[in-house]
């Protein structure tokens, strides 16, 4: 009977299960630390059968819930649903590790085939009429009021998520939405693979010593290592942010700066096989169609319905409130740079490929601050230790190297994280810091396993991934102040996951609205500049001496420098993202739209968006950040305001403020409304004034 049921479900799902030896991806995670992913046993051929088998198992689990003869209640419906999909979660955790970190020509067709199938599977779940009826029955029953607050939150989340995904649609419309989701999944994969190809296959070759003028030794060393890895003579600058931005900051050769800049900003926009513009057009059209089928005016209205902002209009209002001051500051910054260029007799007008180079000259002139001098005190390994120290000071967490944990690449290291008072494990932290072929650019955090108490006391597994450039073997990796901030930012996400203390996995850790998830991470960035961190961990890479107070003072004095650039760079991308998704179902030419919209915004001609449309992976490699890139600014309003709670008290390590931060932000996941949680922590709603003060903009 059971075999027959599973076979029927497999036919319904269009899936098949291999009859060969056990697939290691399907087995429960074994080993110490509550089990760990079998990253040393992965074979690419295992992914497809493992995903298909795990989806089939999940369908069978859901079938059991929907065919339960007992009336629906919280335990036999919502809690039961939370217990399902454990095998699929494990398989997909490993699958997405490979997608982000170990992508290859052999993996691409697997991704291309499985992403539409995964989209179809998700629609089978959220469009399951019988399942939704049970969820709705619990949500609307009198017994709902007797649930505890976390159970209510979970029930509400499932109900809203299912409704927003089309659970109330008629059968014909459900099919149309499902078809669109499958098409989008394929397009997202194509976009990501095109972007990765442009970042992996294009690079700037330097062949003469004159090409290296102005470059610090660390950049030269990394470029030499890049060339050696490609079996090239000379030096190579990779087409990734972590390589290009330092080159643009220090390279004296203007022609090479322009060449590097054009290569980088043209990713996905070269009119070749990896051009993303037509893919973007298709994605936007399908998103608009889906939004209308789901009953929303635009994709932006659909995506923001369950966020802190609630509406695109509120998100736009925030961006438009900041934009004029940021643009004015950019014009001031450009004037300062032009003055130096004129004094040097450069006989140029500042262009986008000059911005970082001359901004650095202004920084040196105005604040006597040389980022190269700062960089000598920012050793990656020392900063990693500083992350652990901050985690201990704030949240009583300790980090020790894990033993015998398999990894997917030799660069990856793992630490076991414990509560200092009890000694109990709270999770594992994987660290993958270096760039390599097949790894997507940027920096990010992932949860391989969510914390939960529903099925045992399960601890989380989180990772931080970055793209720092390795230098020569045995030499410390020195990073910029901005990269150090990013390191703290991503670790803030990790701490959000590690501190989670909730019952249900769907509410765990960083499973919060998109415009709130960046708040804890942006807040943690501020601990980098605290004297306690700098004196202990900002140690000179040669002498080992701590950073001198005079240099710290110069860093502090320059903290608001170049905020026009950094604000316009991000907010222009966020405005384009929002306006693209408010444009409805009209056919959009990305190049024309970008040019026209930026002109209407009076975008300074001396700079470019942080993410141009054809390379905007946040927005076009999936739905998560679509119409949601504003989240970084929204969350920074919260983080600027929240940090003032510390400065108004006894400082960044004030125990009482930290206690509230843990209680109402870092430990609660999505068990309470974010706006309510923030007010419980802060005692008031956040205001934009703190952000404006933090960036040195006029406060009205």
Active-site residue list: 490
Angle between helices 563-581 and 312-343 (to 10 degrees): 140
Q: How many CB atoms lie within 10 A of CB 511?
A: 20
Q: Pick from 397, 432, 396: which is nearest to 414 by CA?
A: 432
Contacts of 271 (CB under 8 A, 6+ apart): none
What is the rounded distance in angstroms from the CA atom of residue 474 to the CA atom of residue 174? 58
Specify whether the CB–CB gap between 478 and 54 falls below 8 A.
Answer: no
Phi, psi dihedral angles at 539 (to 5 degrees): -110, 135
321: number of Cβ within 10 Å: 15
CA dihedral angle for residue 275, residue 278, residue 279, residue 282, rounded to 10 degrees:
180
Q: Is 153 exposed, middle or buried (0-12, 13-18, 19+ CB in 10 A)?
A: buried
Residue carrying the six token digits 């240099």: 551
Distance from C-alpha of 671 to C-alpha of 453, rounded to nearest angstrom: 13
Q: What is the DSSP letter of 415?
A: E
What is the helix, strand, coil percentage profile of the chain, to 5? Answer: 60, 5, 35
Q: Which of 83, 91, 110 is nearest to 27 (CA)?
A: 91
HEC-encoded secondary structure of 440-483: CCCCEEEEEECCECCCCCECEEEEEEEEECCCCCCCCCECCHHH
Q: Are 467 and 479 in contact (CB under 8 A)?
A: no
In angstroms, the CA 585 to CA 286 distance is: 8
Name every residue whose Cβ is closer than 8 Å to that of residue 432 and which is 6 or more positions away in sequence: 101, 409, 411, 412, 463, 464, 465, 466
Residue 650 near residue 604 (C-beta atoms within 8 A): no
Burial 237-259 (b: 16+ CB within 10 A, else e): bbbbbbbbbbbbbbbebeebbee
Please report, to the nearest 10 degrees, the dihedral formed by the alpha carbons of residues 191, 196, 198, 204 taken in order.
160
Supply 685's token pair: 């709603």
Q: Which residues of 96-132 are buried (b: 16+ CB within 10 A; e: fewer)?
A: ebbbbbbbeeebbebbeebbbbbbbbbbbbbbbeebb
- In what helix (H) or strand (E) does residue 427 lie, and over which residues does it extend? strand 425-434
Residue appearing with tokens 């009859």: 19
């Amino acid at each position: 009977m059971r075999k027959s049921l599973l076979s029927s479900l497999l036919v319904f799902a269009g899936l098949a299960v291999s009859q060969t030896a056990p697939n290691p991806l399907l087995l429960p995670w074994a080993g110490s630390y509550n089990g760990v992913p079998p990253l040393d046993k992965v074979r690419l051929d295992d992914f497809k059968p493992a995903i298909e088998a795990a989806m089939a198992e999940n369908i069978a689990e859901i079938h059991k819930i929907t065919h339960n003869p007992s009336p629906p209640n919280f335990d036999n419906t919502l809690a039961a649903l939370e217990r399902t999909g454990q095998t699929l979660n494990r398989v997909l955790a490993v699958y997405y590790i490979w997608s982000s970190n170990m992508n290859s020509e052999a993996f691409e067709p697997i991704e291309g085939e499985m992403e539409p199938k995964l989209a179809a599977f998700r629609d089978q779940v959220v469009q399951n009429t019988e399942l939704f009826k049970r969820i709705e029955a619990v949500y609307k029953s009198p017994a709902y009021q007797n649930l505890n607050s976390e159970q209510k939150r979970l029930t509400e989340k499932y109900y809203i998520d299912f409704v927003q995904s089309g659970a109330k649609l008629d059968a014909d419309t459900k099919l149309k939405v499902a078809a669109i989701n499958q098409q989008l999944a394929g397009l997202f994969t194509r976009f990501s693979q095109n972007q990765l190809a442009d970042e992996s296959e294009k690079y700037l070759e330097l062949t003469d010593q004159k090409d290296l003028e102005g470059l610090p030794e660390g950049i030269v060393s990394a470029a030499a290592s890049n060339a050696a890895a490609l079996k090239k003579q000379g030096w190579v600058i990779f087409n990734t942010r972590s390589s290009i931005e330092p080159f643009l900051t220090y390279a004296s050769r203007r022609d090479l700066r322009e060449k590097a800049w054009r290569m980088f900003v043209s990713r996905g926009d070269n009119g070749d096989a990896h051009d993303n513009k037509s893919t973007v057009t298709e994605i936007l059209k399908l998103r608009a169609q889906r939004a209308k089928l789901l009953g929303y005016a635009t994709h932006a209205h659909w995506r923001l319905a369950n966020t802190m902002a609630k509406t695109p209009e509120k998100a736009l209002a925030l961006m438009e409130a900041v934009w004029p001051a940021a643009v004015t500051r950019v014009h001031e910054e450009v004037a300062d740079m032009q003055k130096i260029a004129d004094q040097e007799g450069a006989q140029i007008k500042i262009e986008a490929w000059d911005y970082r180079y001359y901004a650095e000259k202004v920084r040196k002139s105005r604040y006597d601050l040389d980022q190269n001098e700062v960089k000598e005190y920012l050793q990656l390994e020392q900063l990693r230790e500083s992350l652990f120290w901050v985690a201990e000071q704030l949240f009583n967490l300790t980090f020790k190297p894990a033993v015998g944990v398999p990894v997917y690449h030799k660069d990856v290291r793992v630490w076991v994280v414990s509560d200092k008072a009890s000694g109990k494990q709270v999770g594992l932290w994987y660290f993958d810091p270096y760039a390599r072929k097949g790894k997507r650019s940027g920096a990010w955090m992932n949860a391989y396993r969510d914390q939960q108490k529903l099925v045992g006391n399960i601890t989380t597994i989180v990772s931080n991934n970055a793209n720092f450039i390795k230098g020569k073997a045995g030499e410390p990796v020195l990073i910029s102040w901005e990269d150090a901030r990013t390191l703290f930012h991503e670790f803030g996400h990790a701490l959000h996951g590690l501190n989670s203390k909730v019952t249900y996995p769907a509410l765990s850790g960083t499973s919060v609205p998109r415009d709130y998830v960046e708040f804890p991470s942006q807040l943690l960035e501020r601990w980098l500049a605290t004297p306690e961190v700098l004196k202990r961990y900002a140690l000179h890479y040669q002498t080992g001496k701590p950073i001198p107070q005079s240099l710290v003072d110069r860093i502090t004095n320059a903290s608001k420098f170049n905020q026009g650039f950094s604000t316009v760079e991000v907010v222009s991308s966020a405005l384009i993202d929002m306006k693209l998704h408010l444009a409805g179902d009209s056919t959009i030419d990305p190049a024309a739209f970008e040019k026209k919209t930026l002109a209407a915004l009076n975008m300074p001609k001396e700079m470019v968006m942080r993410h141009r449309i054809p390379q905007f992976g946040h927005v076009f490699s999936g739905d998560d950040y679509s119409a949601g890139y504003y989240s970084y600014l929204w969350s920074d309003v919260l983080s600027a305001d929240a940090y003032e709670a510390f400065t108004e008290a006894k400082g960044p390590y004030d125990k009482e403020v930290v206690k509230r931060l843990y209680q109402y932000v870092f430990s609660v996941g999505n068990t309470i409304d974010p706006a309510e949680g923030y007010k419980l922590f802060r005692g008031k709603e956040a205001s934009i004034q703190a952000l404006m003060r933090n960036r040195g903009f006029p406060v009205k």
